Chains A and B, each alone.
Chain A
């Protein structure tokens, strides 16, 4: 099973905000950079956030992230129907010598 825990789903109305948590441990989130990925059905994932808080060029500032201790959080403000997708956190686990992904969170726009 996944080392990083995320809520299975979150939802909100258009224009509202959602947050997605990602809980890990000192061997992964606690001591390594966290990334977030967005995946639409039938397509490859896309990098949304890297180095805990940075956005690649082209990613709108409606997407933000933070990290504290062994947990990380992704926030989406001004929610749009086009944001409906699966979101995964990911990071290196130094104890496992492996990259680990979160369980994934489905975002639904009501």
Chain B
């Protein structure tokens, strides 16, 4: 079945770095755009970044631009989020999501999420 599994979360100190991974299965990963969405404890959903199916276009939220980078490795069916210069306000559950058609429309499938805690 279609599945997304995130990993790489953990506890990191402020100004530290972390790389999240999202392994896709059950669908043609190279044919779909992907997103990262986060949710701080007790808060709403916040979009983080997205990448087109072929990696040709990437978009990042203002809150993470210049610090986070989305990428993908089609040979490994894996989506990444490289996070640097982490701040306490980046503490959240990070979800990866597969789009239904294009990166501009809906998120059809979500992973279970991975928790990132930025604290000294």
Residue positions of A touching B, CB distance < 8 A: 2, 32-33, 35, 37, 39, 44-47, 50-51, 56, 86, 88, 90, 92, 96-104
Contacts and interface: CB of A to CB of B under 8 A. Distances in A.
Contacts of B108: 47, 50, 56
A45 B104 contact: no
Contacts, number: 64
Interface residues of B, number: 22
Task: Classify the interface of chain B: helix, strand, loop or mixed.
Answer: strand
B7 to A, nearest CB: 15
B68 interface: no
Interface string B78-120: 0000000000000000010000100011111111110000000
A33 B44 contact: no
A47 B100 contact: yes
B95 to A, nearest CB: 6
Contact of A90 (B45, B61, B95, B110): B45
A11 B105 CA distance: 29
Contact of B44 (A92, A98, A99, A104): A104
Contacts of A96: 62
Interface string B55-85: 0000101100000000000000000000000
Contacts of B37: 45, 101
Contacts of A100: 47
B25 to A, nearest CB: 16
Contacts of B104: 32-33, 92, 99
